[in-house]
């Protein structure tokens, strides 16, 4: 993709990765991603972030089209993860910037990643401002959104923020702006990105959004490092969405995620789903044999209740459920009701193990149900009633 002028003298010069299928442990089978970075043509030509190393050639080509006979004076490094700084060392070697600006934690990460000796690195804590000519760049540390080194760069003259991973989506497109694509698809991918990457750092998101408001930062353009950019009224829309996501207010929805050996646990899960649905709760029934853990997590994100199911396997639970629960716990979802179901043969540890996972995630746990071998009509009736009980708990919570 060719460079795109997003403001007079400010260019998107990123790369589109049409073939990326796994990102930070989550998968969108056909969406790909973009590595957005930016070039500001001013008295001091400034490069904001770079791209993944395999797109070094693309970056050089885009830079050549915009730079002409100018040189790059400054680098701004908002985040050191390899998808943003993978070719930083190559860029430093080729373009020899006068200064490289990064956060205090960014300096530590940069040293660890590149073991440089004499790079012209200058640390810019929150509140630091630099002039690049007719424009000013202001730096705001956004630690743990989603790495310790993360930083936001704001240009007050343009009312433009380079937000790095914040407000991103993994979506390979020929379009560059949010107002050029289907809004429902954009929202779905923003939610997926948040649920699978940003969710554990929701307190930081709320603090950052409050800080932006308190500092009176006006936003006419938001430039994340993945996916589509936002302009005009879409900036307020993106901010509102992040506020909504970070607050984690549950919907009238339950997710039942399970694995099954000989379909007994599956039958129990289906009975719970019937009880929930009959009480007007929206239900997602998701087998781990058919769904990737990231797709399950996207559904769990805004659900009020999570019901997990597995038979006993080697005195524990099936591996796909263990994978799912490990992934979910790491993302730290809040404000959930939880319960468990499971079948067993000669030892019955399954629901005890599942319940412990739910308790470790601080869920409000409703009594689990287990049965030996194949669930009887009475057992399935109890599962149905459990669904109704969970539905009542959801309604009391909303």
Active-site positions?
24, 79, 81, 83, 146, 165, 193, 226
* Burial call 123-139: b when 16+ CB within 10 Å, e when fewer: ebebeeebebeebebbb
CA neighbours closer than 13 Å in the CB half-sphere of residue 357: 28
Phi first, then psi: what are they for 7, rounded to 5°? -145, 165
Phi first, then psi: what are they for 69, rounded to 5°? -100, 10
Tokens representing residue 378 in the block: 């009475």
The Cα 159–Cα 153 span in angstroms is: 11
DSSP state of 53: G
Tokens representing residue 70 in the block: 């100018």
Query: What is the SS3 assignment for 38?
Result: strand
Element (H, E) at 151: strand 151-155
Phi first, then psi: what are they for 22, rounded to 5°? -130, 130
The Cα 161–Cα 139 span in angstroms is: 10
DSSP per-residue letters across 60-74: HHHHHHHHTT----E
DSSP per-residue letters across 289-347: TTS-HHHHHHHHHTEEEEEEE--EETTEE-HHHHHHHHHHHHH---S-EEEEEEEESS-
The Cα 162–Cα 21 span in angstroms is: 25
Region label for 374, one of left (φ > 0), alpha (ψ between -120 and 50) or beta (otherwise): beta
The Cα 5–Cα 13 span in angstroms is: 9
């Amino acid at each position: 993709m060719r460079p795109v002028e997003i403001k007079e003298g400010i260019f998107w010069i990123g790369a589109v990765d049409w073939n990326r299928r796994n990102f930070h442990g989550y998968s969108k089978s056909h969406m790909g991603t973009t590595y957005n970075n930016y070039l500001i043509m001013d008295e001091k030509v400034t490069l904001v972030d770079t791209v993944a190393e395999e797109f070094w050639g693309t970056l050089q080509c885009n830079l050549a089209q915009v730079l002409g006979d100018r040189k790059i004076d400054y680098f701004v490094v908002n985040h050191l993860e390899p998808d943003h700084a993978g070719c930083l060392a190559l860029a430093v070697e080729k373009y020899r910037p006068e200064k490289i600006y990064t956060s205090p934690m960014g300096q530590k990460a940069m040293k660890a990643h590149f073991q440089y000796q004499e790079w012209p690195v200058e640390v810019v804590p929150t509140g630091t401002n630099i002039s690049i000519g007719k424009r000013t760049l202001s730096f705001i540390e956004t630690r743990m959104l989603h790495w310790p080194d993360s930083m936001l760069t704001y240009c007050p003259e343009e009312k433009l923020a380079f937000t790095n991973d914040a407000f991103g989506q993994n979506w390979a497109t020929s379009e560059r702006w949010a107002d050029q694509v289907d809004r429902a698809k954009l929202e779905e991918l923003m939610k997926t990105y948040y649920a699978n990457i940003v969710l554990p750092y929701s307190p930081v998101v709320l603090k950052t959004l409050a800080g932006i408001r308190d500092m009176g930062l006006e936003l006419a353009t938001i430039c994340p490092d993945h996916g589509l950019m936002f302009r005009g009224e879409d900036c307020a829309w993106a901010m509102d969405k992040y506020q909504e996501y970070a607050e984690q207010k549950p919907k009238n929805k339950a997710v039942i995620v399970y694995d099954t050996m000989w379909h007994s646990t599956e039958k129990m899960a289906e009975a719970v789903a019937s009880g929930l649905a009959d009480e007007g709760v929206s239900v997602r029934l998701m087998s781990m044999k058919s769904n990737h853990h990231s797709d399950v997590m996207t559904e769990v994100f805004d659900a009020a209740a999570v019901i997990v199911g597995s038979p006993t396997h080697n005195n524990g639970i099936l591996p796909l459920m263990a994978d799912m629960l490990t992934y979910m716990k790491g993302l730290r979802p809040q404000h959930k009701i939880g319960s468990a179901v499971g079948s067993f043969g000669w030892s019955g540890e399954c629901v005890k193990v599942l319940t412990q996972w739910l308790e470790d995630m601080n869920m409000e746990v409703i009594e689990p149900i287990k049965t030996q071998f194949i669930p009887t009509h009475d057992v399935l009736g109890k599962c149905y009633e459990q669904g109704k009980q969970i539905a009542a708990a959801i309604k009391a919570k909303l």
